[in-house]
Chains A and B, each alone.
Chain A
Amino acid sequence: MNDALSLRQVLETPFHARTSALCRTNHWGNWAGYTTVQVYEDVQIEYFAARNAASLFDLSPMTKYDIEGPGAEAFLNRLLTRDVRKLRAGRVAYVAWCDDDGMLMDDGTLFRFDADRFRLCSQERHLPWLLDSAIGFDVDIADVTESVAGLSLQGPTSCEVLRQAGCRDIGALRPFALDRFEIDGVTLVISRTGFTGDLGYELWLPPGDALATWDALMDAGPLHGITPMGSLALDMTRIEAGFLQANVDFLAGGRPTRTGRLRSPLELGLAWLVDFDKGHFNGRRALLAERDNRASRYRLVGLDVDGNKPATDAFLYDRRGREAGVVTSAMWSPTCKKSIAIASLNAGVDVDLDGVWADIYVSRELRWRRIKAPCREVPRPFFNPARRRATPAGHR
């Protein structure tokens, strides 16, 4: 191997030849060891493509573990907080997992291919934890991050793009379902999943077929507004969708060195993912104690913030000036036409009763102004179109 390559610390994804040619801003970021496009051309254009047409996002750096064997279901049921027995073959579930103290390690998606074969996708790497968790279970775990390329095609016209590309029956695929399809002679797995909270699909394929598949989608899409999207625009859509981002809205387990920095799923609004009735799982006893003793320290909420200034990183206070929490993700939502935020409130705070407001600092050409913006608690997702759930899908 040539020296410059072997010394390189950041890898390229299987789509690099295409993404680098299209990345006019030359704005890159390091995602789990891969260099990935932050912005191709313009964040707003990419964001609106996702909301009004179709966006194409290179998902390859997503960490992927294949989990197989007669004990795979039991292994996952002990690892994850949801009841994996209820996940049928050909389905995908949003999942979370905890450490012994009931603190969230990470969230991700679990694909069930058949009775004994699963794939777990997450943002962070967790192989040591998975291998430790496999002790006592008849299961094989393989990190397939490098051998599976991923693309995310999202937006109201995404279904139509896939149909044009040759996936004739794609409209019948239900939300959170997966199936095999063919594009230009390439067989690939498509799941109706995504991080944008809209109609959309994720495509999983061998790296060797990556460029051909990218080209096939781009060729099929012009009339449907297909646009490559970078990570910054994706982040806007995920906030509107109300999804949590590891190491932004919570710290992934195994990372912090200071005690007390981790959060439990109950503190992160993920109680709906925790199935106390399914038998034992990692962290169950700690979570049960937290629930029964009402010992949660925080509560994660969606906020509608007055005004149009994003409450990024803002402290929250109550009407008597006491600290009430912090904003972990915030934006001006072009689609909701609101300033929205995901916030971590201290236990016991009630946004409306306590008169919670965000302390926002804005600079107008370096003249700083402080805005005390009143907040209202609103349900997440902030943006939740019916087309996300409709089957048959698609924009005809």
Chain B
Amino acid sequence: MSTKHRYDAIVVGAGHNGMVCAYYLARARRRVLVVDAADAVGGAARPVGFGDLTVPFAAHLDYGFSRRVADDMELARHGLAWASNDIAGTAFGENGARLEWSLARDDTPSPLPARDAGRWPAFRQRMARFASVIEDIAGRVPPCLRGDGADARAWLAIAWRLRRLGAEDMREFLRIGAINIFDVLEETFDDRLLKGALATEAVLGHGLAPRSPNSVLTFLMRMASGGAAALPRGGMTALGEALRSACAARGVEFRLGTAVKRIVIENDRAAGVELDDGEIVSSSDVVSSADARTTGLDLIGAAHLDTGLVRRLCNVRGNGCTARVDLLLDDVGGLERDLLVRRLLYAGDMDTLERAFNDSKYGNVSSEPLVELVFPTVIDPAQKTGRHHLATALVQYVPRTADDAGERALDAARGVIGRMLPGLFERVVDTRTVTPADVENATGIHGGHWHHAEIALDQFFMLRPVPSLARYAMPVAGTWLCGAAMHPGGGISGLPGRNAAAQVIASGGRP
């Protein structure tokens, strides 16, 4: 490492991936600075004020933060604890139908018709076996197709994982990979609500409906990260605080409230960053947690990239479709108490989801959207820092370009939630909405997508986000990507940040 620069690495963005990456770099004795435009750490889960409460900007639940990363970073020592490590789900259908389930547990969802109940264990176990292959892939840096020994060994390891599935499973894996979750569930189960609930797990956060290709992959990704929905004590913002604390203990420096205007490039090599006030901070590597397109076109600049890559970056699919609606409640009395500690899904059935998606295809907010609703202040009383209670909902599908997206999402959510918990809206004293456009404005992530780039086979693993960038390196030496646009994608997992750090470290700093 050179002494010419003030830092060995500057990480752009103090989202969880940026911080995880910074931690591993610092652990490898790099001098690291993390810069974020926002005043607080956490990225899309950073704290914002809402009434007398503090809420995470967008992400409200932990769907599977990597245990390995949490252990490496000793997050427990840095204050991370769980209010619940698996909030069980209740799905709502038409005419008051309800179903209880959790993907993370062996328990059979209930109530189910006998035939479905009989099929559940085998279905879940098979999906778990498939998911373990995906989990293995998710933890890896995508190997090169034309690589050397290490790459060849990685390919062999993946092939071996597949082979170990056995002939029958392997055939099934390849078969369902090419179809969609609608067909898979349709041929397995009868219960409409069960199929709706499972399909919701496949499409939440994705611009997909049950009949879309790739929805089996996203379902397996959900299972690969454990299938649980957990809530840190203190909420998702507490996870960000723990990450920050772990980083600080390793000597990582933070500079918040300052945007990086551009990555400084000298002789086709990163030399640091220019901040929005014009200050230049020098560094031999720059790792960006912004999406690949934003990093390429805005921070590095097209002049430093080749035309073909620029075109591919412009065509990365990543238009957000998930919005968030927060409700500040004066009271939760009179509501069905047992429901308030659960994860409530309005899925209807698979056709409801498909119709909701259809609206968004033509730029409209779904009139009967998918909704995931939780009451953080009930599940975790530590979060009730004032007089009010809080309900947070993810609402899908809300296209980025829709007019008045926030109001429409709120209206649509009101209708659906009103059916799930009659009387809830009478207790609402304030609302807060976050649309994909708001996410884009607040985080600088182009498209405001949950995963920064849609997860699909053509944007997965060694093709994510575009083939030539899958190994976390941008073409300008010393420039890297560590955000959710990178393999294995978004959701607060820490894995893109960890993989990216491994690549930066393997490159050995300045050549």
A residues in contact (CB < 8 Å) with B: 74, 78-79, 99-100, 129, 132-133, 135-137, 279-280, 282-285
A74–B303 touching, CB < 8 Å: yes
- The distance in angstroms between the C-alpha atoms of A132 and B307, with both chains bound, is 6
Give chain A residues whose Cβ lies under 8 Å from the Cβ of B475: 285
Give chain A residues whose Cβ lies under 8 Å from the Cβ of B268: 280, 284-285
Besides A132-B307, A135-B310, A282-B307, 15 more A-B contacts (Cβ < 8 Å) are: A78-B303, A100-B306, A100-B308, A129-B307, A132-B308, A133-B307, A135-B302, A135-B311, A135-B314, A136-B302, A136-B303, A280-B303, A280-B305, A284-B268, A285-B268
Q: Given the interface contacts A135-B297, A285-B475, does A280 sit within 8 Å of B304 by beta carbon?
A: yes
B310 interface neighbour in A136, A283, A285, Cβ under 8 Å: A136
Give chain B residues whose Cβ lies under 8 Å from the Cβ of A282: 306-307
Closest A-chain residue to B306, C-beta based? A100
Give chain A residues whose Cβ lies under 8 Å from the Cβ of B297: 135-136
Q: Given the interface contacts A74-B303, A136-B302, does A99 sit within 8 Å of B308 by beta carbon?
A: yes
Question: How near does chain A come to B145, taking the closest CB pair, in angstroms?
Answer: 13
5 contacts between A and B (CB under 8 A): A100-B309, A136-B302, A136-B310, A279-B303, A284-B268
Closest B-chain residue to A288, C-beta based? B268
A99 interface neighbour in B304, B306, B310, Cβ under 8 Å: B306
Give chain B residues whose Cβ lies under 8 Å from the Cβ of A137: 302-303
Please name the 6 residue pairs, one residue from A and one from B, whose CB atoms are nearest each other, closest first: A136-B302, A100-B306, A100-B308, A133-B307, A132-B311, A282-B306
Which of B297, B302, B306, B475: most chain A CB closer than 10 A? Answer: B306
Interface residues of B in 24-61 (CB under 8 A from A): none
- The distance in angstroms between the C-alpha atoms of A129 and B307, with both chains bound, is 8
Give chain A residues whose Cβ lies under 8 Å from the Cβ of B109: none
Give chain B residues whose Cβ lies under 8 Å from the Cβ of A280: 268, 303-305
> Interface size for chain B: under 10, 10 to 19, 20 to 34, or 35 or more residues?
10 to 19
Give chain A residues whose Cβ lies under 8 Å from the Cβ of B307: 79, 99-100, 129, 132-133, 135, 282
Please encode chain B, from 262 to 294, with 1 for each CB lying within 8 Å of some chain A CB and 0 for all others: 000000100000000000000000000000000
B301 at interface, CB cutoff 8 A:
yes
Question: How near does chain B come to A389, taking the closest CB pair, in angstroms?
Answer: 35
Closest B-chain residue to A132, C-beta based? B311
Question: How near does chain A come to B306, taking the closest CB pair, in angstroms?
Answer: 4
Closest B-chain residue to A105, C-beta based? B307
Give chain B residues whose Cβ lies under 8 Å from the Cβ of A135: 297, 302, 307, 310-311, 314
Give chain A residues whose Cβ lies under 8 Å from the Cβ of B303: 74, 78, 136-137, 279-280
Give chain A residues whose Cβ lies under 8 Å from the Cβ of B310: 132-133, 135-136
- The distance in angstroms between the C-alpha atoms of A282 and B307, with both chains bound, is 7
- The distance in angstroms between the C-alpha atoms of A100 and B309, with both chains bound, is 7
- The distance in angstroms between the C-alpha atoms of A74 and B308, with both chains bound, is 17
B residues in contact (CB < 8 Å) with A: 268, 297, 301-311, 314, 468, 475
Closest B-chain residue to A74, C-beta based? B303
Give chain B residues whose Cβ lies under 8 Å from the Cβ of A279: 303
Closest A-chain residue to B476, C-beta based? A280
Question: How near does chain A come to B489, taking the closest CB pair, in angstroms?
Answer: 25
Closest A-chain residue to B311, C-beta based? A132
Which of A99, A129, A285: most chain B CB closer than 10 A? Answer: A285
- The distance in angstroms between the C-alpha atoms of A312 and B132, with both chains bound, is 61
B306–A136 touching, CB < 8 Å: no
- The distance in angstroms between the C-alpha atoms of A169 and B308, with both chains bound, is 45
- The distance in angstroms between the C-alpha atoms of A129 and B311, with both chains bound, is 9
Which of A79, A133, A283: most chain B CB closer than 10 A? Answer: A133
Question: How near does chain B come to A26, taking the closest CB pair, in angstroms?
Answer: 42
B301–A136 touching, CB < 8 Å: yes
Give chain A residues whose Cβ lies under 8 Å from the Cβ of B306: 99-100, 282-283, 285
Question: How near does chain A come to B468, taking the closest CB pair, in angstroms?
Answer: 8
Which of B297, B304, B308, B475: most chain A CB closer than 10 A? Answer: B308
Give chain A residues whose Cβ lies under 8 Å from the Cβ of B302: 78, 135-137
Question: How near does chain A come to B139, taking the closest CB pair, in angstroms?
Answer: 30
Give chain A residues whose Cβ lies under 8 Å from the Cβ of B305: 280
- The distance in angstroms between the C-alpha atoms of A100 and B308, with both chains bound, is 6
Question: How near does chain B come to A84, taking the closest CB pair, in angstroms?
Answer: 13
Give chain B residues whose Cβ lies under 8 Å from the Cβ of A74: 303
Give chain A residues whose Cβ lies under 8 Å from the Cβ of B304: 280
Closest B-chain residue to A71, C-beta based? B303
- The distance in angstroms between the C-alpha atoms of A99 and B311, with both chains bound, is 12
Closest A-chain residue to B265, C-beta based? A280
- The distance in angstroms between the C-alpha atoms of A132 and B308, with both chains bound, is 8
Which of A133, A280, A282: most chain B CB closer than 10 A? Answer: A280
Question: How near does chain A come to B428, taking the closest CB pair, in angstroms?
Answer: 45
- The distance in angstroms between the C-alpha atoms of A193 and B440, with both chains bound, is 51
- The distance in angstroms between the C-alpha atoms of A104 and B74, with both chains bound, is 53
Give chain A residues whose Cβ lies under 8 Å from the Cβ of B311: 132, 135
- The distance in angstroms between the C-alpha atoms of A74 and B302, with both chains bound, is 11
Give chain A residues whose Cβ lies under 8 Å from the Cβ of B308: 99-100, 132
Give chain B residues whose Cβ lies under 8 Å from the Cβ of A285: 268, 306, 475
Closest B-chain residue to A78, C-beta based? B303
- The distance in angstroms between the C-alpha atoms of A133 and B308, with both chains bound, is 8
Question: How near does chain A come to B230, taking the closest CB pair, in angstroms?
Answer: 41
Closest B-chain residue to A102, C-beta based? B306
Give chain A residues whose Cβ lies under 8 Å from the Cβ of B468: 100
- The distance in angstroms between the C-alpha atoms of A17 and B54, with both chains bound, is 80
Give chain B residues whose Cβ lies under 8 Å from the Cβ of A78: 302-303
